Chains A and B, each alone.
Chain A
Amino acid sequence: MPKRTDIKKILLIGSGPIMIGQAAEFDFSGSQACRSLKEEGLKVVLVNSNPATIMTDPEMADAVYIEPLDVKAVEMIIEKERPDGIIAGIGGQTGLNITSELAEHGILEKYNVELLGTPLEAIRNTEDRELFKRTMERIGEKVPRSKAISSLKEAEELIDELGLPLIIRPAYTLGGAGGGIAHSREELLEITERGLRRSRIGQVLIEESVLGWKEFEYEVMRDANDTCIVICNMENLDPMGVHTGESIVVTPSQTLNDEEHQMLRTAAIKIIRAFGIEGGCNIQFAFRDGDYRVVEVNPRVSRSSALASKATGYPIARVTAKIAIGMALDEILNDVTRRTPASFEPTIDYIVTKIPRWPFDKFVNADKTLTTAMKSTGEVMAIGRTIEESLLKAVRSLDINMDLGSDEWSPSEVKMLLKTPTSERLFVIYHALCNGFSVEEVSELTGIDIFFMRKIWNIIDMEDKVRKAGFSGSVPDNMLRDAKRMGLTDARIAELTGKTREQINDQRRAAGITSTYKMVDTCAAEFAAETPYYYSCYEQMCEADPSDRKKILILGSGPIRIGQGIEFDYCTVHAVAAIREAGIEAHIINNNPETVSTDYDTSDKLFFEPLTLEDVMNVIEKENPDGVLVQFGGQTSVNLALPLEKELRRRSDLKTVILGTSPSDIDVAEDREKFNVMMSKLGINQPDAGYATSQEQAIEIATRIGFPVLVRPSYVLGGRAMEIVYDRADLERYMREAVKVSPEHPILIDDFLEGAVEIDVDAACDGRDVLIGAIMEHIEEAGVHSGDSACVIPPQSLSEEVLDTVRDYTRKIALALNVKGLVNIQMAKKGDTVYVLEANPRSSRTIPFVSKAVGLPLAKIAARVIMGESLAGMGYASTNEPKVKHVSVKEVLLPFDKLPGADPILGPEMKSTGEVMGVDSDFGRAFFKAQLSADNLLPLTGKVFLSVRDEDREKLVDVARKLVDSGIRLLGTKGTADYLAEHGIEMDIVKKVHDGSPNVIDMMRRYEVALVINTPEDKKAREDSSKIRRAAVDFKVPYITTIQAALAASNAIVSMKKGEVTVKSINEYHREMINS
């Protein structure tokens, strides 16, 4: 069936902010879909609230709306744009949910918008667990016994019928959110209650447990002609009971024979046909000894489909978009071979391993057990010719440990940890196998197939051989080759043999053992492929075939984690685009399968590799690029700057240089002492600070500065292990529990600027001029990590004098650091003084927000500067930041709802996973939109619960008055009510939580509270308020935990009472700026 001619304009729904269960994969699939549709001559309108995406770049679609993914806002966009069709299956669960609601509210019908691709009925039949079960029964496919319920009573009744443990799966949720495994009646009720709240339709499925069965996934595509193909299948190492997003996954499946594989493949095709899905779809099976159950069907592109795309080279989202507009699979070209059609099944000649990246380094108190609900923030993928190689490359890509050997556990702990899946599982297995556990035992305890245990054992065995050879002098070349083929790094071999990494590296290169690069080509070399997508291995033939053009290598940012999110992928992609536009060949190294940067047509060459010194050097050795860019990939790539420079100097045979800000200048910014010296030379204020290498010194410094102080280890990412300590005892606790201080690991002690306003600046510098992109004012005050604070462009409360100081400092620092490219500077204003907190001569997480708010492609400009252009030459000579009339607010998304047990408060440790942007004509509306997009709907009616710490009481009066004036009822405990009564404000009184029922938690449970404003007390009095905040998260009640955000929210509510929000594409906003 050829492309439809009656569809001219399409609305694409994005997936919103990055959160646990939904990472960058929908930016990748969304931007692929946009390009795919535009390629067919269609007009594309896009809605997404996430500014940090490539898909929301103004040039990605004809109109890009950074607006809330909310039925009302989307309806306004539909009314304005009048699209002919809408595609639901590209924006993940969010896209599906919004589209379902638009249809249910009759909006699609009203504006005559056709749902393209997978029909609504299919979405309903897969998402509604009862309908799903019925469809499966109709076609004779077995599902675990289960019942969809909508009350706790029904849940309880199922215990006898289905037996414990039971699996709870809420309908229409993301990443298994709100679900879990219940081993007892209490757990069942607790999880069911949570699940019912989370489900869009108040329904959960209670399912018999198939715990311990193996889990396989099939990625299937179907077109309107009924042609069905399987893109790939995947085997989860972890058995059922661990969400696939939490499991280590390999592709293709390793332990199924052909009969079994075909049985599941046939079932997968039968299922996609039964639902009538048009496009991509993911099907999960539980499998045991030849028997299987259908566990889940996702009628859309997903995290798994992103993985499948990257694992095979087959562009699932691109093809899904074309299917949606009526094309058949055999009418779509396989973009990789460019000579065969898309109607084939990819086959691969390597092994792909995916490992999730968890945030438990940030949430030390959260439960690390892996279960049916996701907790990971991102993932890495690695490709190898053996399982061992693929696995070890994946481990290195995690950017946490170079090798498997890490922590020490006692034997009893090991046994327990083998039985209970946690984020440390792989390391525990390695540890166990090294310490006398047999492969059989470990397989038995973990439930992971012995096949994989033997592979890990092979690594241990190889390490043993190398170690022994090291004892007797040196490792023979043939053993070295075997070790490299198994994925061992030079550094690991050096460590095992008591040599240096350089010695091993020299030995192997002298012996001709260098990495070779093979292509990912969808067809195992059956056809010649055109796409330059490579992975390394140690084989005979290398296919990289370097050109003699000028070329630049860009280092990516690895897995999405808290503190290093999709923003850095955004910057990487922009840098690549600028380089290609300049006619220079651009190469990327990255290992995150969800991202746009690892799409095969983003760069001239993609190397899907770990980001370590050795892996990067191997690529440099092969390609000999003219330069390497380290400043776009965030801290991961910046950390490689110095080691790379050192190694490049050692290797006099390579011409490659590090481009942009020099590694020694980067070091000045990163090293606190050097930075302090520079600041005092420039005459710029910094908070009083000190540098302690011992406990005694730390106490001495803190006492000199005066408590409270901010303490942290010297090299940090996203404020890791950073705390505000209020007194001496607190500092001692910190050094005892959080960070051990020593001469090798000093800690930094800063004066904590209580009550200061934080300011962020993003700028580009060419060594002569400085272009300020934007000055951002934070909503939350100093003390909340800048990555967790909401911020606004333009600043709302800063005087022109303060802004001038900020501009002046920015220019001075950028020039003093000899910045070539980007720099992000954080400042704080207390009283009339502006302090500089830190400067990062690299891309920052606010670059995409700034670019979208003010219409300046900062990352591209920076890349052009690095390639030698001047800012003046580009027309960006030193002027102040662009003036904007509209107001843009960035708000963050916090993962507390996905992490049971974590206290939802903000602090100096970064905790957010993603961000949203609200744009409108005034601050109030922009803030309201940002809150709405961050799933924190501010109420315009109803009751607001107020409870603040003593310091915030004064400011609370203003908040309360604004709320009351807007017609909102207030609720609070007696203390708060008495205080507000003194100021003439009335409120309803409720009991304190520990005084028994009915209290505010009971009211939240009964949906009687529309918003909770609760600012945390100091540590001792925190428990009561922590219960309230946690309840807000669990019962999905909007909540605010800082007084500044409460003020902003009350302003937003006042604004909203005056009139509705407007919708406007960022293309329009940017045009208005140029015109004015």
Chain B
Amino acid sequence: MNAVLGLEDGTIIKGTGFGAEGIVSGELVFTTQYTGYEEALTDPSYKGQILMFTYPLIGNYGVSGNCFESDGVKAEGLVVREACPGPSHHLSKRTIFQMMEDAGKPGIAGVDTRMLTIKTREHGTMRAALINGSDDGEEAVRLAREQPGISDIDLISRVTCPKPFRLESPYRDPKNPVNVVLMDFGRKLSIERSLLARGIDVTVVPATASTELIGSFEPGLLFLSNGPGDPLQATRGIEAVKNFAGELPIVGICLGHQIISLALGAETYKLKFGHRGANQPVKDFESGIVHITSQNHGFAVDADSFEEAEVKVTQINANDKTVEGIAHKNLDIFSVQYHPDAHPGPLDSEKTFFDRVRRLAGGRK
């Protein structure tokens, strides 16, 4: 089947379509990881984005369904050099073609993805449209240009949970239960898996949750999840951080980190083309160690915008020196831009991060 990808700068790329027929639009973003396409495609942070893999062979080990990061494919579309029709893995239940088709999402293969990556690197992230079932490039470009920019779309509401619910940890200590409220801006399931694995009960609340609602669960800690789009859209999150600062330990990952920073008075900005992949180096100032991290973000926090007396930057990206972690100097508030929850990507910082969350949530430092 014919498929075509159009970019806002007028680029037209023709290829072979797969997955569902139809038209989607969104930002075209690239990720540099080899493995973890199942996790990435189902990561709600990719909502509103067409995901392109720089690694040319995607789908080699099929789709098991065991490692989804949400209930299904969240990226709007998939761009690859080659998708694998004959995967080989003992856990595989279907091909990547079937996964996309079942999700009702289109994909395009046979594309010079490296060329598109270089375009994105040089031009900055571009709006794009992908049409599966047509080769009308002009139409794709028109649709790419017609859509609003990512900051003008409310993506969080499309991926947050509709109402609060509670997950009880199988490892909980009944005599000394620990409860965390996870504010869901499009959470990856790995975050709650890492919390539950440490005996923490998790109450997931929608992104629109009020201070009262959050308070009613009497959490030991407030956790702000990752999610798609511009952190300025997360007004209730910013409000919650402001209200609970000093009362509860507050922790955030990715979008959650940006929300916390905004609440602490910092500013955020859009990166030229973001960080997406499993190889991002993060330097921790305290230990001096560089950890390799999994990342997926288009926005970042401006290091110079913090109130120096209150907040310190604890970690930076060794590549471009952008902020990767902050901590409040007096309060139990800290957050990271990368994904210690991994999946996909390295687990290098999973233990340190979540063990600390466990200690804080349990009332210990």
The residue from B91, B318, B347 contacting A343, defined by CB atoms under 8 A apart = B318
CA distance A253 to B33 in the complex (A): 12
The residue from B88, B113, B280, B342 contacting A450, defined by CB atoms under 8 A apart = B88
Question: B53: nearest residue on chain A (CB-CB)?
Answer: A349
Knowing A266-B347, A289-B90 are in contact, say whether A347-B33 is a contact too (CB < 8 A). Answer: yes
The residue from A230, A265, A351, A543 contacting B56, defined by CB atoms under 8 A apart = A351
> Quick one: CB contact mask for B62-102 with A, threshold 8 Å, 1 for yes?
00101100000000000001101011111100000000000
Whether a CB of chain B sits under 8 angstroms from the CB of A1007 is no
Tell me which residues from 317 to 354 in chain B have a Cβ below 8 Å from any Cβ of chain A.
318-320, 342-348
Whether a CB of chain A sits under 8 angstroms from the CB of B297 is no
Which residues of chain A come closer than 8 Å to B252, judged between CB atoms? Answer: none
CA distance A543 to B291 in the complex (A): 32
CA distance A343 to B277 in the complex (A): 15
Knowing A343-B318, A541-B115 are in contact, say whether A350-B292 is a contact too (CB < 8 A). Answer: no
CA distance A330 to B35 in the complex (A): 25
Whether a CB of chain A sits under 8 angstroms from the CB of B288 is yes
Find out whether the CB atom of A343 lies under 8 angstroms from the CB atom of B281.
yes
Which residues of chain A come closer than 8 Å to B39, judged between CB atoms? Answer: 258
Whether a CB of chain A sits under 8 angstroms from the CB of B283 is yes
Chain B nearest Cβ from A107, distance in angstroms? 34
Find out whether the CB atom of B88 lies under 8 angstroms from the CB atom of A449.
yes
Which residues of chain B come closer than 8 Å to A252, judged between CB atoms? Answer: 34, 55
Find out whether the CB atom of B35 lies under 8 angstroms from the CB atom of A385.
no
CA distance A253 to B35 in the complex (A): 9
CA distance A265 to B346 in the complex (A): 8
Find out whether the CB atom of A258 lies under 8 angstroms from the CB atom of B343.
yes
CA distance A100 to B118 in the complex (A): 48
Which residues of chain A come closer than 8 Å to B66, judged between CB atoms? Answer: 259
Of residues A350, A385, A525, which shows the largest number of chain B Cβ atoms within 10 Å of its Cβ? A525
Chain B nearest Cβ from A340, distance in angstroms? 5
Give the interface SS of chain B, mostly helix, strand, loop or mixed.
loop
CA distance A493 to B111 in the complex (A): 24
Whether a CB of chain B sits under 8 angstroms from the CB of A997 is no
Chain B nearest Cβ from A439, distance in angstroms? 8
Which residues of chain A come closer than 8 Å to B38, judged between CB atoms? Answer: 257-258
> Quick one: CB contact mask for A504-535 with B, threshold 8 Å, 1 for yes?
00000000000000100001111110000000
Whether a CB of chain B sits under 8 angstroms from the CB of A346 is yes
Chain B nearest Cβ from A751, distance in angstroms? 58
Find out whether the CB atom of B346 lies under 8 angstroms from the CB atom of A262.
yes
Chain A nearest Cβ from B294, distance in angstroms? 9
Whether a CB of chain A sits under 8 angstroms from the CB of B60 is yes
The residue from A230, A253, A266, A329 contacting B290, defined by CB atoms under 8 A apart = A329
Find out whether the CB atom of A539 lies under 8 angstroms from the CB atom of B114.
yes
Find out whether the CB atom of A524 lies under 8 angstroms from the CB atom of B347.
no
Which residues of chain B come closer than 8 Å to A254, judged between CB atoms? Answer: 57, 60
Whether a CB of chain A sits under 8 angstroms from the CB of B42 is no
Whether a CB of chain A sits under 8 angstroms from the CB of B54 is yes
Find out whether the CB atom of A387 lies under 8 angstroms from the CB atom of B57.
yes
> Quick one: CB contact mask for A252-281 with B, threshold 8 Å, 1 for yes?
111111110110011001000000000000
Find out whether the CB atom of A524 lies under 8 angstroms from the CB atom of B60.
no
Find out whether the CB atom of A541 lies under 8 angstroms from the CB atom of B57.
no
Find out whether the CB atom of A386 lies under 8 angstroms from the CB atom of B57.
yes
Question: How extensive is the interface on chain A, given as a class?
Answer: 35 or more
Chain A nearest Cβ from B104, distance in angstroms? 24
CA distance A226 to B281 in the complex (A): 14
Tell me which residues from 249 to 285 in chain B have a Cβ below 8 Å from any Cβ of chain A.
277-281, 283
Question: A350: nearest residue on chain B (CB-CB)?
Answer: B56
Find out whether the CB atom of B60 lies under 8 angstroms from the CB atom of A523.
no
Find out whether the CB atom of B117 lies under 8 angstroms from the CB atom of A524.
yes
Which residues of chain B come closer than 8 Å to A525, judged between CB atoms? Answer: 54, 114, 117-118, 121
Which residues of chain B come closer than 8 Å to A348, judged between CB atoms? Answer: 34, 55
Find out whether the CB atom of A451 lies under 8 angstroms from the CB atom of B114.
no
Find out whether the CB atom of B61 lies under 8 angstroms from the CB atom of A257.
yes
Whether a CB of chain B sits under 8 angstroms from the CB of A454 is yes
Tell me which residues from 1 to 57 in chain B have a Cβ below 8 Å from any Cβ of chain A.
30, 32-36, 38-39, 54-57
Find out whether the CB atom of B115 lies under 8 angstroms from the CB atom of A344.
no
Chain B nearest Cβ from A273, distance in angstroms? 11
CA distance A415 to B113 in the complex (A): 40
Which residues of chain A come closer than 8 Å to B90, judged between CB atoms? Answer: 289-290
Whether a CB of chain A sits under 8 angstroms from the CB of B112 is yes
Which residues of chain A come closer than 8 Å to B346, judged between CB atoms? Answer: 262, 265-266, 345
CA distance A230 to B88 in the complex (A): 25
CA distance A231 to B109 in the complex (A): 28
Whether a CB of chain B sits under 8 angstroms from the CB of A765 is no
Question: A266: nearest residue on chain B (CB-CB)?
Answer: B347
Tell me which residues from 342 to 387 in chain A have a Cβ below 8 Å from any Cβ of chain B.
343-351, 385-387
Whether a CB of chain B sits under 8 angstroms from the CB of A1041 is no
Chain B nearest Cβ from A456, distance in angstroms? 12
Find out whether the CB atom of A257 lies under 8 angstroms from the CB atom of B292.
no
Find out whether the CB atom of B290 lies under 8 angstroms from the CB atom of A343.
yes
CA distance A525 to B86 in the complex (A): 28
> Quick one: CB contact mask for B102-133 with A, threshold 8 Å, 1 for yes?
00000000001111011001000000000000
Which residues of chain A come closer than 8 Å to B89, judged between CB atoms? Answer: 255, 257
Which residues of chain B come closer than 8 Å to A540, judged between CB atoms? Answer: 112, 115
Find out whether the CB atom of B67 lies under 8 angstroms from the CB atom of A257.
yes
The residue from A225, A344, A450, A528 contacting B292, defined by CB atoms under 8 A apart = A344
Whether a CB of chain B sits under 8 angstroms from the CB of A227 is yes
CA distance A341 to B321 in the complex (A): 11
Knowing A227-B289, A343-B290 are in contact, say whether A255-B283 is a contact too (CB < 8 A). Answer: no
Question: B62: nearest residue on chain A (CB-CB)?
Answer: A257
Which residues of chain A come closer than 8 Å to B291, judged between CB atoms? Answer: 227
Find out whether the CB atom of B345 lies under 8 angstroms from the CB atom of A257.
no
Knowing A258-B67, A451-B60 are in contact, say whether A541-B88 is a contact too (CB < 8 A). Answer: no
Find out whether the CB atom of A524 lies under 8 angstroms from the CB atom of B32.
yes
CA distance A290 to B121 in the complex (A): 37
The residue from A228, A330, A347 contacting B277, defined by CB atoms under 8 A apart = A347
The residue from B56, B88, B343 contacting A349, defined by CB atoms under 8 A apart = B56
Which residues of chain A come closer than 8 Å to B114, judged between CB atoms? Answer: 349, 518, 524-525, 539, 541
Find out whether the CB atom of B281 lies under 8 angstroms from the CB atom of A330.
yes
Chain A nearest Cβ from B284, distance in angstroms? 10
Whether a CB of chain B sits under 8 angstroms from the CB of A229 is yes
Find out whether the CB atom of B283 lies under 8 angstroms from the CB atom of A343.
yes
CA distance A261 to B33 in the complex (A): 11
Whether a CB of chain B sits under 8 angstroms from the CB of A771 is no
Which residues of chain A come closer than 8 Å to B292, judged between CB atoms? Answer: 229-230, 344-345
The residue from B84, B121, B279 contacting A345, defined by CB atoms under 8 A apart = B279
Find out whether the CB atom of B82 lies under 8 angstroms from the CB atom of A386.
yes
CA distance A252 to B113 in the complex (A): 18
Which residues of chain B come closer than 8 Å to A528, judged between CB atoms? Answer: 121
Whether a CB of chain B sits under 8 angstroms from the CB of A328 is yes
Question: B119: nearest residue on chain A (CB-CB)?
Answer: A541
Knowing A330-B281, A343-B290, A523-B32 are in contact, say whether A259-B67 is a contact too (CB < 8 A). Answer: yes
Which residues of chain A come closer than 8 Å to B290, judged between CB atoms? Answer: 225, 227, 229, 329-330, 341, 343
Chain A nearest Cβ from B44, distance in angstroms? 17
Find out whether the CB atom of A255 lies under 8 angstroms from the CB atom of B60.
yes
Which residues of chain B come closer than 8 Å to A289, judged between CB atoms? Answer: 90
Question: A257: nearest residue on chain B (CB-CB)?
Answer: B61
The residue from A328, A344, A349, A518 contacting B280, defined by CB atoms under 8 A apart = A344
CA distance A525 to B348 in the complex (A): 24
Identify 22 residue pairs between A and B in the complex whose beta-carbon atoms are under 8 Å apart, listed by A's number: A225-B288, A225-B290, A227-B288, A252-B55, A255-B60, A258-B36, A261-B34, A265-B346, A266-B346, A290-B91, A330-B318, A340-B320, A344-B280, A345-B278, A345-B281, A347-B33, A349-B56, A449-B88, A524-B55, A525-B117, A525-B121, A526-B277
Closest 5 CB pairs of A and B: A258-B36, A541-B115, A451-B88, A345-B279, A524-B54
Q: List 20 extra interface pairs beyond A347-B277, A385-B81, CB under 8 A.
A: A227-B288, A227-B289, A227-B291, A252-B34, A289-B90, A340-B318, A340-B320, A341-B319, A344-B280, A344-B292, A344-B319, A345-B278, A345-B292, A349-B56, A386-B82, A451-B87, A526-B30, A539-B114, A540-B112, A541-B114
